[in-house]
């Protein structure tokens, strides 16, 4: 069902079982897949692909005339979120994968990539070319500066300013942020094998606890038999820490 007050430009592709509320604008290059629900006063522009069963809430704005954006299935975009609305000299594509929760007043800028199962809480801002691996949680009012990578399983505390890469499984907070330890609760929810968690703890103590050691990280990556430790060490070896 599409409300009669919504404007849809010629060329837009909209599946049959899509609900669009009143006073929305859908641009000519937008593609909306089946099962999508769009509330009132939403603007979607540019080459934007909205995949299956997404929910977009009132007053969200996605894209501009020159943007290229994909938002994956089952993702929620809450009220007043802005995704790719700022034009820049080099408008890179934005790619947001499946099952993400993007809360109110979030701003996502050009070149951002977000993997599956991430949560961006209220008023988070991701600047250009930020990359978030899967299962990242970012607390409200936090900012991640441009060109930084956030590893899998990271939790960023509220009102933090992050201007560096964050290794997998870590907990960071502060303005300016620093690594406070491992996201132990997240690890326990994710990993059933307690030996994996102990191996990650040992790697953390060796590579970060007393200052970042990239040479040691390269050695640990080569020698460890634990894939989670390898991932952790490889990230640190290649990071901007």
CATH of domain 7-183: 2.160.10.10
Average pLDDT in the 80-85 region? 97
Q: Indicate whether 154 pLDDT > 90.
A: yes
| Residue 87 confidence (pLDDT) | 87
Average pLDDT in the 7-32 region? 98
- CB contact at 8 A, 162 and 142: yes
The two most distant CA atoms of the chain are separated, in Å, by: 63
Provide the pLDDT confidence category of residue 210 given band limits of 50, 70 and 90.
confident
Provide the pLDDT confidence category of residue 62 given band limits of 50, 70 and 90.
very high
Query: What are the counts of helices (DSSP H) followed by strands (DSSP E) for the chain?
Result: 4, 27
User: Which parts of 208-238 fold into alpha helices (H)?
Assistant: 214-223, 227-238
CA–CA separation, 114 and 105 (whole Å): 17
Q: Where are the domains of the chain?
A: 7-183, 187-238
Question: Which residue in the block uniquely carries the two structure tokens 């996605």?
Answer: 62
Q: How many CB atoms lie within 10 A of CB 198?
A: 11
| Residue 209 confidence (pLDDT) | 87
Give the range among 77-81, 146-150, 207-211, 215-219 with minimum mean pLDDT.
Answer: 207-211
What SS3 state is found at 128? coil
| Residue 90 confidence (pLDDT) | 83
| Residue 99 confidence (pLDDT) | 98
Q: For the chain, what's the residue count?
A: 241
């Amino acid at each position: 069902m599409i409300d009669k007050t919504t404007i849809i430009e010629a060329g837009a592709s909209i599946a049959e079982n899509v609900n669009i509320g009143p006073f929305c604008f859908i641009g000519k290059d937008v593609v909306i897949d089946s099962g999508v629900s769009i509330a009132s006063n939403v603007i979607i522009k540019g080459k934007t692909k909205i995949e299956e069963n997404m929910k977009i809430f009132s007053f969200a704005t996605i894209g501009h005339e020159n943007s290229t954006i994909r938002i994956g299935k089952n993702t929620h975009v809450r009220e007043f979120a802005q995704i790719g609305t700022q034009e820049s000299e080099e408008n890179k594509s934005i790619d947001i994968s499946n099952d993400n929760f993007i809360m109110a007043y979030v701003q996502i800028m050009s070149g951002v990539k977000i993997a599956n199962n991430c949560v961006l809480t209220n008023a988070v801002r991701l600047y250009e070319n930020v990359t978030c691996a899967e299962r990242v949680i970012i607390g409200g009012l936090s900012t991640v500066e441009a060109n930084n990578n956030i590893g899998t399983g990271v939790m960023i505390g509220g009102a933090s300013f992050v201007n560096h890469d964050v290794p997998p499984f870590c907990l960071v907070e502060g303005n300016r942020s620093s690594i406070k330890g491992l996201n132990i609760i997240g690890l326990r929810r994710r990993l059933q094998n307690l030996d994996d968690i102990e191996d990650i703890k040992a790697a953390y103590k060796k590579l970060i606890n007393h200052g970042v050691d990239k040479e040691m990280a390269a050695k640990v990556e080569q020698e460890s038999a634990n894939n989670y430790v390898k991932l952790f060490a490889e990230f640190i070896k290649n990071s901007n820490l």
